[in-house]
Amino acid sequence: MEPNPAASDHGLLDVNTLNLLMLLMIPGLGKRKLLEIVQEAPFLLCDPVDRHFWLYLGKKSRQPMSSREAGTCQATARQIEERISSGEFSLVHLFAPGYPAILRQIYDPPLALFLKGRTELLHHPCLAIVGARQATDYGVAIAETLAARLAETGLVIVAGMAKGIDSAAHVGSLKSGGGTIAVLGSGVDVAYPSQARRLYQRLCTVGCVVSEFLPGSRPNPQNFPLRNRIISGLSVGTVIVEASQHSGSLITARLTMEQNRELYAVPGPVHSPYSIGTNYLIKQGAKLVQIWQDVVEDLPLHIQERLQWRPASDSAGGEVSPPFGSAGQKLKLTTEQETVYNLLLFERKTHLDTLLDKTGLGFGQLGRVILELITRELIIELPGQYYLKNVR
């Protein structure tokens, strides 16, 4: 994709932070309109604010600001500037060296990003993993393990911190010690959803939190389609794990293709409503992901060369080789362990009573085998004595 002209025409602008903040809060200016105005009149970002500044913007916005509104705008901008100076969060704009180069290349890059945490992650190779909020046990396990394996190669995992697949992707990356970036549909200082507050706090320290919305902004519904272009725009590719027919993840998939980035999808059970979107994407040309190497092997060569990985090995000798396992990894199981393992599914949980009935093992014997498989992280125990095969 050709670089956005806004990224090159004014690359040496000496941007005044206060001017930039005031521009971001002008009523009646959408994100794309604001970018057009800045391209047309770069002086707005640099020159001292005077009457000409407000007159010019008054002609461009739907509702010109009164003197009182302008004063309020200026005061609010100063407060945010002070919070930036205090180190509560940082700000990087489109014309700064610290702005992510890959994000500059999209059609409508955000004029500015507010950041918390490890901002250097924005300059590593990134991969988005997103999907359904109301995810199944299968989808969450897939997303978490896939994110962990890909993060171990050096890819930074990007998601939206939404419950379900997005949160699982962040958690998987963190568990593996990898980097992860959350792109919010609220202000960078607003944890949403509230259930993700602990995850948000962790991301603010060991990961990175990003937003184009002003600090304090609430998570309005119209914000999320806008933030999706940043999720895909920061990434060399996007993996969709579970998506219903009307999932917002399909918006991210469309944006990924429009931005000329790689699109991947994990197939799901044909009977599941959360597989409709992913299976449809595969039919439309998205690349099917069965093991994590399917993603890495498809990335551009210059990205692969920056990662730590090896090609997947073929299964052999009747040994169990689970999806998303380390390259060449085989599972050596006892007869009892293999019996229990083969009765469990990735996509649907199985109750203890079913295992007792089908294996013929005694309660104590089965309990020992289950504990062994859990210890080896081959299966997952769910509430209510249910078990699920773990995607490793």
* Structural domain boundaries enclosing 346: 335-389
pTM, two decimal places = 0.81
Task: Indicate whether 24 belongs to any domain.
Answer: yes
Q: Are residues 139 and 260 in the same domain?
A: yes
Task: Indicate whether 309 belongs to any domain.
Answer: no
Centroid of chain to Cα 112? 19
Number of structural domains (the chain) is 3
Residue 331 backbone dihedrals phi, psi, to 5 degrees: -105, 120
Task: Indicate whether 327 belongs to any domain.
Answer: no
Residues 135 and 165 sit within 8 Å (Cβ to Cβ): yes
Domain boundary among 262, 284, 304: 304
Q: Is 95 left (phi over 0), alpha (psi -120 to 50) or beta?
A: alpha
Domain boundary among 89, 116, 143: 116
Residues 6+ apart with CB under 8 A from 203: 116, 117, 161, 170, 180, 182, 209
CATH code (residue 221)? 3.40.50.450
Q: Output the pLDDT for position 26.
A: 80
* pLDDT by residue, tens only, the chain of 392 residues: 444 444 444 455 788 899 899 889 887 778 888 888 888 888 888 887 777 777 777 777 666 667 787 788 889 999 999 999 999 999 999 999 999 999 999 999 999 999 999 999 999 999 999 999 999 888 888 899 899 999 999 999 999 999 999 999 999 999 999 999 999 999 999 999 888 999 999 999 999 999 999 999 999 999 999 999 999 999 999 999 999 888 889 999 999 999 999 999 999 888 889 899 999 999 999 999 988 999 999 999 999 999 988 765 544 333 444 454 443 345 688 889 999 998 988 777 899 999 999 998 998 899 999 998 988 878 888 878 888 887 65
Q: Output the pLDDT for position 138.
A: 83
Q: Output the pLDDT for position 12.
A: 58
CB-count exposure of residue 1 (10 Å: 0-12, 13-18, 19+): exposed
Alpha carbon distance 286, 55 (integer Å): 48
Domain boundary among 116, 148, 164: 116
Q: Are residues 340 and 217 in the same domain?
A: no
Q: Output the pLDDT for position 63.
A: 62
Q: Are residues 99 and 182 in the same domain?
A: no
Q: Are residues 243 and 171 in the same domain?
A: yes
Q: Are residues 251 and 145 in the same domain?
A: yes
The identity of residue 151, as a single letter, is A
Q: Are residues 212 and 282 in the same domain?
A: yes
Q: Are residues 164 and 246 in the same domain?
A: yes
